[in-house]
Every structure is written in structure tokens, then in C-alpha cells.
């Protein structure tokens, strides 16, 4: 009996100790995730998880994106801020804390990074002009590959002289134009390149019979022709926002129409019909972000 | 050329000219006005210049003679608030600018009647020989209340000399200058009792000059011109006075291929009818015809490349009535009718304009020290909306030597023939088209029928809507101080323009080019101040200095910049940046500062005189180059400030022989035009021009 009592006392004390140590790691209550925002983002972006009963010590939290451990930036009992780790891929978002393991009901989408590049010296020759009928093949460009393409289908925009066609809409009727088989379109926006942050809410025009979506002629579309200096220069503040042939988005600022983008092109010595442009391409399906 | 150099040289000349001073009294001065110097342009009545409530400049005979100039542009460019600016295109003419207002908006008169014949809005002032001119009157600020269309920026009136001597008298002079510039003129006149006549013949020829040494052809081709002017004065009695004048100008350019001719004829008949001491009528009939014939021919094939013929005629009867009731109260009423006809090869049809106008002006003195002039003019026109142009001005003498003057007036400019009737497709330049307002609807229709229109960029309802006249309101507030040998004037000005006519794209064509039309769109302002100081420190020694401060901006563009809607491309990265207000330089071809400085010195003991005139204009921009439609700091189109120094020496021999030698642009400023393509050189100025002039009076 005495031994039994001692054992019970020991057990009590042990239990009490164990309980105490449990208390040290906050209460053992079950946390709840109410929202993850956003549910898609690129590597390095911060996401915010809101809910209740989160541990407040970041080292007590384990968060994984499809199995890849994330760095917790801050934590309160109702909000965890974390950055998406490199190597993360789209999949389950799993939070482990207080001995509980929970995965968010919807998969977290890890977006591909926006691609910002400069295309230099894209040649866009044409035949004719100066009153003669304009002809010759267009130079097709794909944002996905970031390069000129010969593909009849996987192109987004195409250049010939000052004319830019989109792979969407119908034939305009000009000689030698490529067949449009995608859903590309363009919206010409005003602003500084970095200020155009999204394609959300824009209306995209497509080529149609007799008219390119990017209107031809000086001061109509993307360029000005200066009759005093005989130069073609992009209209400042015109940012071309494209929907690609497969429904993604890109923005373009044309930098120059002359080889090697001279600051002061000389129409008599600098080769023209050679484009240099900056673009930002969002490779993620359905994502309109451009910055 | 820096200003220090100019000032140093100037002081040197002062010293050399100044040593031979003698205390002799001078009867009149080049600048400081005589009490009897009068001006007619400001009020259309004879008014003593110093009493006028408006900013006016008078260039008297003495200044014209002593500077040795022979054409109107040469003397105007030395006056405060008057700038001659090159046309936007290289090799184009020069236009006069006053208070920041371009040449299109400045009316030029000869003996009170307007000259016509503008090329792209510019009137070539070198067309006007000034050998027989008594004085040139310049009224700054809008004067449409008296003169109607075009008098927005001001009015320049060339007043010819009346014969005064009973005996047959005249002058022959020949001026020879750089670029083989040979200018001969003869003027003869006689007055016998109630009859007088004068004859003036002027011939100018030159080899022209070249501002583009790297390019083929000359900027100004060799040309010659003749001016003939005959005037007859007949006073029937005290009541009826008759004046008739005929002027004919002919100019021909020696172009490499093709031809370029210009003819300008004016005939004026004026009858003064003095009804009583208090009232008089003036009946005036004026006819002018301006013709240019230009064509360029392909040297190899002999094919006609471009034919541009222009023939404008204006017939204008006008009646004026002046009634002076009591002292210092004058009512002026006038009315007239303009018949205008134009044929031009770029217009589809012959074009006719009709307009009628009435004006009235009341000039009175409610107080001994206060003069008020109120006036208004109504112009009714067959092709555009009618215009009412009121004006009020006043001068208050605070002390006999200090006065304040102010005026508010409106001005307008009728849409010109080009803006109404041009029907032009440039086959050589790639196939763009331009339509005047009156023909744009049918022009677009024609192109649509031919399947040449890709898409219309304006609403079809807007096509053919009437243009309004361009109009302005000008405000001037001036302070005049005159005492002894000092005369000074400070004038603040502001001009608000609206409905300025601009081109816009009406449609794009299937060939990738555009169709342009005209629209009332722009509103701009010019403001600043003018200072004019004239001082005669010693007898026979005249000094004058003038300064203009100018701000000229487009109001809409300013608002766009405020909203962050104006962009430019960074010259390094070529990427778009947003412009701030400080990046906006203002309107093209406007200098913030212009300065002139003149010394006239007479040495009676030697029968000689000398003068030095310096004209400076600060940095200005020539054109937008980066496609944002404004002149901004990123545009590489600025010309740095420069000064031109002009110098003339004269000596009279045997009473009637005068020899002048001088230099225009003494320090050979040439400048370089930033618009030139790289690797080529385009100048701003052809450089130093030396001249010698011999004048013989008989």
C-alpha cells in the first residue's frame, strides 16, 4: 500500500512535470487556418497565413510548400508571414505546430518568375514602301521562348518594317502576312514601363481586315516619324500590353527602330527596321501581373 | 561668341568714337522722341507718340539711315521686344515674333493697308525695301479692334515719306555686301504747291548663302528682286486731299531646276475729306495681288515634280470718319468690305472670301491727366464664325514725367486658306494627305470611295464642322518715366490664346500614311516684361538698351504634365520617363531673355557718325524631337544663346555724298543647328556680312 502510494505520488509529480513542460510550449490547443493569401505567388514572395492559436515563436512552426521548408518571417497567434522557399513547387501547403499537422485544403500554386528581358536587334525587313506595295515575310516572335520563331502557331507578335501584327484576329489583307491562329491581342497603355503592373481589366484589340490592332502610321500606334530628321522613334510613354497567342500576358516598350539602338539615330547611316525592345512576360496561365 | 567679348568690343568702339566729342547741340535724336513725333497706327488718328496708352515703338528715319539697312527685317530685329526667328524648316524664311507671338499673328501694313502673301504663315519681311520710308511704327499687343484679323501680337506699319521739297530732289544709293548682295535704289520726289509725287525704284540681287555646307544645293538660292513704288499727292483745296500709290515687287530665284517667282502688287487710293475743323472723312480703296509660281523639275528626266502656284487677291474699300467734339474727344468710325480670291495649285477650286467689318473708337480725356480709348470692331465673314474684338486702354499721368498705361484688348486671326481649302496628297513624301476644313468631308469620302482609308480616327459628325478664328486677349501694363535726357519704359504683358488651329489625324490610309485635318485645339499663353531705356548722356551721343523676359507655354500641355501624362525617353536607356514641370521648356523658338544694346554717335565736326548695335537672345529650342509633342529638356534641339553685333560708320563728303561701311554679325557667329543629322553641319546664321553703301543726294 505504501509503495503504491509512493508510486502514485511519483506518477502525479511526473504527470505534473510533463504537464508543466507541455505548458512551456504554449497550450496544446489545435490551431486553425482561416486564410492563405495569396494562394499563388512566385519564389521569394511573402504570403500571409491568418487563423487562430498559432505559436508565436517562429521556431515552433514548420511550413512546407510541396515538401520544401519555408522560412517564417514573423508569427503572432493569428498571423504567420512566410516567404516561399526556392525550390518550392506547386502542391500541398502544410503547417506543423503544437503537435498538429494541417494542410491547406487547396494546393498552393508556386508561380514562375516574371521574365524581363531586352530583345536586341530583331530584324524586321520589308520590301516595297515609299509608295510601292509593301511585302515580305513578317519576323515572328514568341514571348515564351523569348526569341524569333519560325513556328506557324507558337508566335505572339510579328514585325515587318514599322508594322506589328498580333497572332489573333483576322488577316488584314496585306501581302505575305502570317496566318493568325492564336488569341493574341494588344492594349496600348500610357505610362512608364514599371508603372504598368497588371493586365487586369484591359481591353485587347486584335488585327482585323484592313487594320492592324497597333495602328500603322506616324503618331497612330507605337512610333513617330519626324519629317525634319527622317527618323522613326517610339512614342514616349506608349507601353504595349499583349495577350499572347495562348492567353498569357506580356508588356513591351520599344526602345529603338535602328541597329544597336543609337541614342540619336542617323537615318542615313544607321540601319532601320531593326527593333530593340524591353519586355516583361508572365508565363503563368491566367495571371495578369506584369510587375 | 560670348557676351563678355561683345561688351569689351563695344566699349572699345565707344572709346574710339567718343574721343572727338564737341559740345554741339543736337536737334533731334535717334531714340529720344521729339515732341512732334507722331504715330498713326495705334489709333488711326494722328497721335503724339508719347501720349499713347499703348506699348509702341517708333523707328525714325534717322535710325534707318544711320544703320545703313535697306530691308525691313534688318531694322526690326534690333528693336526691343521684336525677334526674327527662323522658320521651323532649314532654309525657310524668317518670321517676326513680338511678345512671344509668332509671325502668323502679326499684321504688317504699308501706309495703313495690309500686305498679303504668307508662306506657311510667315511673311518674308526682307521683301520690303525701306529706302523711301519715313518711319516704322510698331504697336505691340492685340489691335484687332482697329485692324481685324491677324493683329493679335501687334501691328507693324511702314510709313512712306511724303515729298516736302519744292524743287526736284532725290537720292541714289548703292549698297554692296557679302554674298554679292547688291542693292541699288533711287528715290525722286517733288512738291509744287498742291501737287506732289515721289518715285522709288529698288533692285536687290545676291548670290544667296548656304547654311548646309555638307549638302548639295544652297539654303538661299541666288535671287534678284525689284521694287517699284510711285505715289501722287494732290490737294484740291483745304477740304479735299488725294493720295494714290502703286507698288510692285518682283522676285526671281535662280534655282537649279525649275523656277521660283514671286510678285506682289499693291494699289491704294485715299481721299481725305475735311468736312469741318471738327470732322473729316477718309475714303480708301485698296487692291493687292500676291503671286508665286514655283515648280521643280527632275534634272534628269525633265519631269515636273512639284507645281505650287499661288495667287491671292484682295480688294478692300474702307471709309473712316473722325469727329472731334470739344477738345480731346475724338470719335472714329470705320467700315469696310474685303473681297478675297485665291487660286492655288494645291486647292481643288478657286476660293473666295467675303467679309464685312465695322469699327468704332472713342478717344477722350475724362481728366486732364487721364486719357482713355475704348473701341471695338465687328467682323463678319463668309467662311468662319463672326468676331467681335473690343479693346480698352488708358494712360494716367501721375506727374509730368511719370505715367502709368494699361490696356486690355482682343485679337483674332481668321483661319487661313490652307486651313480651309488645302487638298493635298504628297506623292513624293510617301502619300500622306492634308485636307482643309471646308473640303475634308468630301476629301475623306473620295478616299473612302477609292478604298484608300484603313480606318477613320474621328467621328464622322466632326468632319466639316466650322473652324473658329484663333483668338487672344492681351493685357499690357506699363510704366513710363521721362525726364531730361532719360526715357524709360517698363511694360508687363500677358497674352492668352485660345482656339489655335492645330493639325490632327483624321484617318489612317491603307498605305500606312495618315490623312491630316485641322482643328481648333490649342490654348497657349505668353507673358513677360519689356524694358526699354533710352539715354542721351552727351549731345550727339545716344544710348539705348532693351530687354524682354518671356514665358510662353501651352496650357493644355502644362496640365498634362501636372497630371503626369507626359513622357519622354531617357537619352541613356531610351526608356520612358515621366516629365515634371521643370522639364517643360515652353513653346518652340522662344528665348527667355532677349537683350539689345545700341550706341549712336555723331561727330558733326567730321560730318560722320557711327553706331554699334548688339542683339542677344538666350537659349531656345527648335522642335520637339522625342515625339511627346512638347519641347522638353530631353529634346536635343536647343540652340545656345548668342549675340550678334552690328556696326556702321558713315561720313558725308561734299554735303551730299555719304559713304557708309559696316558689318552685320561682326564676330561671324554661325552657330550650329542641333536638328542636323549627325555628321553634317547646319548653321544657324550665314555669318559675318560686311557692307559698303554710297548715298548721293541731289
Tell which residue, A260, A167, A257, A261, has the closest CA to residue A214. Answer: A167
Cell of A259: 541597329
Provide the mean pLDDT of chain B: 88
Instruction: Give yes or no: residues A100 and A125 share one domain.
Output: no
pLDDT of A251 above 90: yes
Given a contact cutoff of 8 angstroms between Cβ atoms, the answer to whether B637 and B57 are in contact is no
Cβ of B627 and A266 within 8 Å?
no
Cβ of A190 and B427 within 8 Å?
no
pLDDT of B511 above 80: no
pLDDT of B74 above 60: yes
CA distance B2 to B618: 11
Instruction: Give yes or no: residues A143 and A221 share one domain.
Output: yes
**Residue of chain B whose alpha carbon sits nearest to that of A269:** B678
Residues near A91 by beta carbon (within 8 Å), at least 6 away in sequence: A65, A66, A67, A107, A108
- Mutation for A interface: B576, B630, B633, B682, most A CBs within 10 A: B576
CA distance B420 to B464: 10
Q: If DSSP codes are grouped into helix, strand and coil, which group holds residue B269?
A: strand
pLDDT above 90 covers a percentage of chain B that reads 59
pLDDT of A104 above 70: yes
What is the distance, to the nearest Å, from the Cα of residue B63 to the centroid of all Cα atoms in its chain?
18
Specify the residue for cell string 480709348.
B373
pLDDT score, position B305: 74
Q: Which fold has domain B3-571+586-697?
A: Maltoporin; Chain A (2.40.170)
Cβ of A217 and B512 within 8 Å?
yes
Given a contact cutoff of 8 angstroms between Cβ atoms, the answer to whether B614 and B567 are in contact is no
Tell which residue, B558, B554, B619, has the closest CA to residue B589. Answer: B619
pLDDT score, position B6: 46
Range A105-138 burial, b when 16+ CB lie within 10 A, else e: eeebbbbeebeeeebeeeebebeebeeeebeebb
Q: Tell me the pairing of strands A62-65 and A68-69.
A: antiparallel
pLDDT score, position A2: 56
Chain A neighbors of B575, CB-CB under 8 A: 192-193, 253, 255, 278
Instruction: Give yes or no: residues A141 and A77 share one domain.
Output: no
Q: If DSSP codes are grouped into helix, strand and coil, which group holds residue A151?
A: coil
Q: If DSSP codes are grouped into helix, strand and coil, which group holds residue B184?
A: strand
Instruction: Give yes or no: residues A95 and A153 share one domain.
Output: no
Tell me how many degrees the CA angle B118-B121-B126 measures, rounded to the nearest 5. Answer: 55
Instruction: Give yes or no: residues A155 and A263 share one domain.
Output: yes
Average pLDDT on A165-184 reads: 93
Q: If DSSP codes are grouped into helix, strand and coil, which group holds residue B43?
A: coil
Eight-state DSSP code of residue A141: E
Average pLDDT on B496-518 reads: 86
pLDDT of A24 above 50: no
Eight-state DSSP code of residue B632: B
Range A19-54 burial, b when 16+ CB lie within 10 A, else e: eeeeeeebeeeebebeebeeebbbbeeebebebebb
Measured from the Cβ of residue A13, the count of other Cβ atoms closer than 10 Å reads: 10
Element (H, E) at B18: helix B3-18
- Mutation for A interface: B86, B453, B622, B627, most A CBs within 10 A: B627
Cell of A242: 499583349
Instruction: Give yes or no: residues A123 and A99 share one domain.
Output: no
Q: Tell me the pairing of strands B195-206 and B223-235.
A: antiparallel
Which of residues B120 and B10 earns the better pLDDT score?
B120
Which of residues B18 and B541 earns the better pLDDT score?
B541
CA distance B296 to B304: 6
pLDDT of B467 above 90: no
Tell me how many degrees the CA angle A184-A189-A193 measures, rounded to the nearest 5. Answer: 100
pLDDT score, position B42: 87
Q: Is A34 on the interface with B (CB under 8 A)?
A: no
Measured from the Cβ of residue B577, the count of other Cβ atoms closer than 10 Å reads: 17
- Torsional sign, CA B111, B112, B118, B122: positive
CA distance A262 to A273: 13
Instruction: Give yes or no: residues A276 and A133 share one domain.
Output: yes
Residues of A (151-190) whose Cβ lies below 8 Å from B: 162-163, 190
Chain B neighbors of A219, CB-CB under 8 A: 505, 514, 627
Cell of B299: 534634272
Instruction: Give yes or no: residues A128 and A159 share one domain.
Output: yes
Q: How far does the CA of residue A203 sit from the closest CA of chain B (Å)? A: 18
Residues of B (503-532) whose Cβ lies below 8 Å from A: 505, 508-514
Nearest Cβ partner of B677 from A190, A191, A229? A229
* pLDDT level of residue A6 (50, 70, 90 thresholds): low
* pLDDT level of residue A205 (50, 70, 90 thresholds): very high
Question: Does A5 fall in a domain?
Answer: no
Specify the residue for cell string 526691343.
B80
Most confident range, picked from A113-117, B206-210, B526-530: B526-530
**Residue of chain B whose alpha carbon sits nearest to that of A224:** B627
Question: Does A287 fall in a domain?
Answer: no
- Least reliable range by pLDDT among B132-136, B162-166, B386-390, B510-514: B510-514
Average pLDDT on B175-194 reads: 93
Instruction: Give yes or no: residues A220 and A119 share one domain.
Output: yes
Q: How far apart are the first and last CA of chain A?
A: 76
Chain B neighbors of A130, CB-CB under 8 A: 430
CA distance B627 to B631: 9
pLDDT of B25 above 80: no
Q: Tell me the pairing of strands B181-192 and B169-177.
A: antiparallel
Q: For residue range A128-152, what is the model confidence (pLDDT) as tens digits? A: 876 677 889 999 999 999 999 999 9
Eight-state DSSP code of residue A131: T
- Annotate A229-280 with DSSP letters as a single string: TTEEEEPTTEEEEEE-TTS-EEEEEEEEEETT--SS--TTTS-EEEEEEEEE
Q: Tell me the pairing of strands A223-226 and A231-234.
A: antiparallel
Instruction: Give yes or no: residues A126 and A268 share one domain.
Output: yes
Tally of domains within chain A: 2
Question: At A35, which CATH number?
Answer: 2.60.40.10
Given a contact cutoff of 8 angstroms between Cβ atoms, the answer to whether B595 and B531 are in contact is no
Cβ of B567 and A163 within 8 Å?
no
Q: Is A216 on the interface with B (CB under 8 A)?
A: yes
Q: If DSSP codes are grouped into helix, strand and coil, which group holds residue B62?
A: helix
The residue among A78, A111, A144 that closes a domain is: A111
Question: Does A126 fall in a domain?
Answer: yes
Element (H, E) at B398: strand B387-399
The residue among A65, A85, A111 that closes a domain is: A111
Domain that holds residue A64: 25-111
Q: How far does the CA of residue B570 sit from the closest CA of chain A (Å)? A: 9
Nearest Cβ partner of A190 from B508, B565, B675? B565
Instruction: Give yes or no: residues A56 and A179 share one domain.
Output: no
Tell which residue, B673, B545, B523, B654, has the closest CA to residue B599. Answer: B545
Nearest 5°: phi and psi at A4? -60, -45
CA distance B436 to B414: 13
pLDDT score, position A5: 58
Q: For residue range A280-290, what is the model confidence (pLDDT) as tens digits? A: 999 998 889 99
Residues of B (320-359) whose Cβ lies below 8 Å from A: none
CA distance B640 to B3: 12
Eight-state DSSP code of residue B32: S
Instruction: Give yes or no: residues A99 and A132 share one domain.
Output: no
pLDDT score, position B10: 44
Eight-state DSSP code of residue A10: H
Nearest 5°: phi and psi at A256? -160, 155
* pLDDT level of residue B255 (50, 70, 90 thresholds): confident
Question: What are the domain boundaries of chain B?
Answer: 3-571+586-697
Cβ of B574 and A226 within 8 Å?
no
Q: How far does the CA of residue A154 sit from the closest CA of chain B (Å)? A: 27
pLDDT score, position B465: 85
Q: For residue range B421-459, what is the model confidence (pLDDT) as tens digits? A: 888 887 766 678 899 998 899 999 999 998 888 778 888
Average pLDDT on B266-270 reads: 96
CA distance B514 to B447: 12
Cell of B472: 487672344
Specify the residue for cell string 493574341.
A184
pLDDT above 70 covers a percentage of chain B that reads 92
Given a contact cutoff of 8 angstroms between Cβ atoms, the answer to whether B231 and B257 are in contact is no
CA distance B493 to B479: 12
CA distance A240 to B576: 12
Q: Is B577 on the interface with A (CB under 8 A)?
A: yes
pLDDT score, position B429: 60
Question: Does A156 fall in a domain?
Answer: yes
Q: How far does the CA of residue A28 sit from the closest CA of chain B (Å)? A: 56
Residue B211's alpha-carbon distances to B116, B216, B682, in angstroms, are: 28, 11, 5
Cell of A222: 507605337
pLDDT score, position B95: 84
Collect contacts of B31-34 with beta carbons under 8 A, ≥24 apart.
Answer: B31/B63, B31/B487, B31/B534, B31/B536, B31/B542, B31/B544, B31/B598, B31/B600, B32/B485, B32/B487, B32/B534, B32/B535, B32/B536, B32/B542, B33/B58, B33/B487
- Least reliable range by pLDDT among A56-60, A157-161, A241-245, A270-274: A56-60
Average pLDDT on B637-658 reads: 93
Question: Does A19 fall in a domain?
Answer: no
pLDDT score, position A11: 53
Chain A neighbors of B572, CB-CB under 8 A: 263
**Residue of chain B whose alpha carbon sits nearest to that of A189:** B565
Nearest Cβ partner of B455 from A211, A229, A276? A211
Residues of A (110-139) whose Cβ lies below 8 Å from B: 130-131, 134
CA distance B553 to B591: 12
Tell which residue, B122, B126, B127, B146, has the closest CA to residue B416. Answer: B122
CA distance B477 to B394: 10
Amino acid at each position: 500500500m505504501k509503495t503504491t502510494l509512493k508510486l502514485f505520488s511519483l506518477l502525479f509529480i511526473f504527470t505534473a512535470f510533463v504537464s508543466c513542460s507541455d505548458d512551456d510550449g504554449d497550450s496544446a490547443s489545435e490551431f486553425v487556418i482561416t486564410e492563405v493569401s495569396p494562394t499563388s505567388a512566385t519564389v521569394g514572395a511573402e504570403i500571409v497565413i491568418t487563423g487562430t492559436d498559432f505559436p508565436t515563436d517562429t521556431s515552433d512552426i514548420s511550413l512546407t510548400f510541396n515538401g520544401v521548408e519555408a522560412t517564417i518571417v514573423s508569427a503572432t497567434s493569428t498571423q504567420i508571414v512566410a516567404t516561399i522557399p526556392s525550390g518550392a513547387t506547386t502542391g500541398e501547403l502544410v503547417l506543423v505546430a503544437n503537435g498538429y499537422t494541417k494542410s491547406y485544403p487547396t494546393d498552393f500554386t508556386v508561380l514562375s518568375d516574371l521574365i524581363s528581358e531586352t530583345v536586341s536587334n530583331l530584324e524586321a525587313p520589308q520590301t516595297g514602301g515609299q509608295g510601292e506595295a509593301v511585302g515580305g515575310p513578317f519576323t515572328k516572335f514568341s514571348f515564351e521562348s523569348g526569341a524569333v520563331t519560325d513556328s506557324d502557331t507558337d508566335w505572339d507578335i510579328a514585325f515587318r518594317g514599322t508594322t506589328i501584327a498580333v497572332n489573333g484576329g483576322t488577316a488584314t489583307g496585306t501581302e505575305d502576312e502570317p496566318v493568325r491562329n492564336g488569341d493574341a491581342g494588344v492594349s496600348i497603355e500610357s505610362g512608364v514601363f514599371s508603372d504598368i503592373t497588371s493586365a487586369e481589366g484591359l481591353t485587347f484589340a486584335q488585327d482585323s481586315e484592313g487594320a492592324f490592332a497597333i495602328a500603322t502610321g506616324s503618331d497612330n500606334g507605337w512610333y513617330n516619324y519626324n519629317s525634319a530628321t527622317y527618323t522613326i522613334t517610339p512614342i514616349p510613354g506608349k507601353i504595349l500590353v499583349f495577350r499572347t497567342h495562348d492567353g498569357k500576358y506580356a508588356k513591351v516598350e520599344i526602345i529603338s527602330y535602328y541597329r544597336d539602338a543609337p541614342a540619336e539615330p542617323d537615318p542615313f547611316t544607321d540601319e532601320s527596321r531593326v527593333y530593340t525592345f524591353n519586355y516583361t512576360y508572365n508565363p503563368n496561365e491566367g495571371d495578369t501581373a506584369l510587375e | 561668341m560670348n557676351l563678355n567679348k561683345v561688351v569689351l568690343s563695344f566699349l572699345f568702339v565707344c572709346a574710339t568714337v567718343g574721343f572727338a566729342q564737341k559740345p554741339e547741340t543736337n536737334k533731334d535724336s535717334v531714340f529720344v522722341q521729339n515732341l512732334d513725333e507722331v504715330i498713326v497706327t495705334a489709333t488711326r488718328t494722328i497721335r503724339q507718340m508719347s501720349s499713347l496708352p499703348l506699348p509702341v515703338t517708333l523707328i525714325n528715319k534717322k535710325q534707318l539711315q544711320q544703320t545703313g539697312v535697306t530691308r525691313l527685317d534688318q531694322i526690326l530685329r534690333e528693336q526691343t521686344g521684336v525677334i526674327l526667328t527662323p522658320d521651323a524648316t532649314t532654309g525657310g524664311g524668317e518670321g517676326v515674333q513680338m511678345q512671344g507671338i509668332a509671325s502668323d499673328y502679326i499684321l504688317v501694313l504699308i501706309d495703313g493697308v495690309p500686305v498679303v502673301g504668307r508662306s506657311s504663315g510667315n511673311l518674308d519681311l526682307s521683301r520690303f525695301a525701306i529706302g523711301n520710308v519715313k518711319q516704322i511704327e510698331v504697336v505691340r499687343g492685340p489691335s484687332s479692334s482697329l485692324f481685324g484679323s491677324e493683329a493679335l501680337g501687334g501691328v507693324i506699319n511702314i510709313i512712306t515719306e511724303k515729298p516736302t521739297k519744292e524743287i526736284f530732289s532725290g537720292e541714289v544709293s548703292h549698297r554692296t555686301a557679302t554674298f554679292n548682295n547688291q542693292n541699288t535704289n533711287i528715290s525722286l520726289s517733288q512738291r509744287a504747291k498742291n501737287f506732289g509725287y515721289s518715285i522709288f525704284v529698288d533692285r536687290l540681287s545676291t548670290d544667296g548663302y548656304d547654311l548646309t555646307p555638307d549638302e548639295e544645293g544652297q539654303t538661299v538660292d541666288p535671287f534678284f528682286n525689284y521694287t517699284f513704288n510711285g505715289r501722287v499727292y494732290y490737294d484740291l483745296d483745304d477740304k479735299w486731299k488725294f493720295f494714290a500709290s502703286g507698288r510692285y515687287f518682283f522676285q526671281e530665284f535662280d534655282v537649279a531646276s525649275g523656277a521660283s517667282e514671286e510678285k506682289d502688287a499693291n494699289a491704294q487710293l485715299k481721299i481725305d475729306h475735311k468736312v469741318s475743323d471738327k470732322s473729316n472723312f477718309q475714303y480708301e480703296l485698296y487692291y493687292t495681288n500676291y503671286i508665286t509660281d514655283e515648280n521643280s523639275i527632275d534634272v534628269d528626266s525633265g519631269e515636273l515634280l512639284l507645281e505650287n502656284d499661288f495667287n491671292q487677291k484682295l480688294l478692300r474699300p474702307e471709309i473712316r470718319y473722325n469727329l472731334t467734339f470739344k477738345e480731346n474727344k475724338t470719335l472714329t468710325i470705320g467700315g469696310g468690305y474685303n473681297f478675297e480670291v485665291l487660286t492655288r495649285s494645291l486647292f481643288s477650286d478657286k476660293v473666295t472670301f467675303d467679309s464685312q467689318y465695322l469699327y468704332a473708337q472713342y478717344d477722350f480725356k475724362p481728366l486732364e491727366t487721364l486719357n482713355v480709348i475704348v473701341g471695338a470692331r465687328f467682323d463678319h465673314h463668309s467662311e468662319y464664325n463672326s468676331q467681335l474684338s473690343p479693346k480698352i486702354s488708358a494712360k494716367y499721368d501721375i506727374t509730368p514725367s511719370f505715367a502709368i498705361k494699361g490696356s486690355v484688348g482682343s485679337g483674332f486671326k481668321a483661319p487661313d486658306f490652307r486651313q480651309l481649302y488645302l487638298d493635298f496628297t504628297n506623292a513624293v513624301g510617301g502619300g500622306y494627305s492634308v485636307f482643309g476644313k471646308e473640303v475634308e468631308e468630301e476629301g475623306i469620302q473620295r478616299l473612302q470611295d477609292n478604298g484608300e482609308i484603313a480606318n477613320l480616327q474621328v467621328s464622322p459628325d466632326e468632319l466639316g464642322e466650322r473652324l473658329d478664328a484663333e483668338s487672344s486677349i492681351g493685357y499690357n501694363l506699363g510704366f513710363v518715366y521721362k525726364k531730361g535726357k532719360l526715357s524709360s519704359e517698363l511694360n508687363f504683358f500677358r497674352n492668352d490664346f485660345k482656339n489655335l488651329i492645330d493639325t490632327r489625324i483624321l484617318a489612317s490610309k491603307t498605305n500606312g500614311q495618315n490623312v491630316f485635318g485641322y482643328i481648333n485645339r490649342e490654348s497657349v499663353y505668353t507673358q513677360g516684361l519689356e524694358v526699354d531705356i533710352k539715354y542721351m548722356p552727351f549731345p550727339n551721343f545716344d544710348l539705348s538698351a532693351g530687354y524682354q523676359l518671356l514665358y510662353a507655354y501651352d496650357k493644355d500641355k502644362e496640365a498634362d504634365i501636372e497630371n503626369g501624362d507626359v513622357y519622354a525617353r531617357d537619352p541613356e536607356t531610351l526608356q520612358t520617363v515621366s516629365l515634371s514641370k521643370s522639364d517643360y521648356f515652353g513653346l518652340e523658338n522662344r528665348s527667355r531673355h532677349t537683350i539689345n544694346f545700341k550706341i549712336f554717335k555723331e561727330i558733326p565736326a567730321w560730318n560722320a557718325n557711327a553706331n554699334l548695335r548688339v542683339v542677344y537672345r538666350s537659349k531656345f529650342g527648335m522642335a520637339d524631337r522625342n515625339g511627346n509633342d512638347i519641347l522638353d529638356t530631353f529634346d536635343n534641339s536647343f540652340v545656345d544663346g548668342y549675340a550678334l553685333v552690328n556696326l556702321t560708320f558713315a561720313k558725308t563728303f561734299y554735303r551730299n555724298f555719304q559713304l557708309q561701311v559696316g558689318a552685320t554679325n561682326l564676330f561671324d557667329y554661325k552657330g550650329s543647328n542641333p536638328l542636323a543629322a549627325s555628321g553634317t553641319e547646319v548653321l544657324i546664321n550665314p555669318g559675318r556680312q560686311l557692307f559698303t553703301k554710297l548715298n548721293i543726294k541731289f
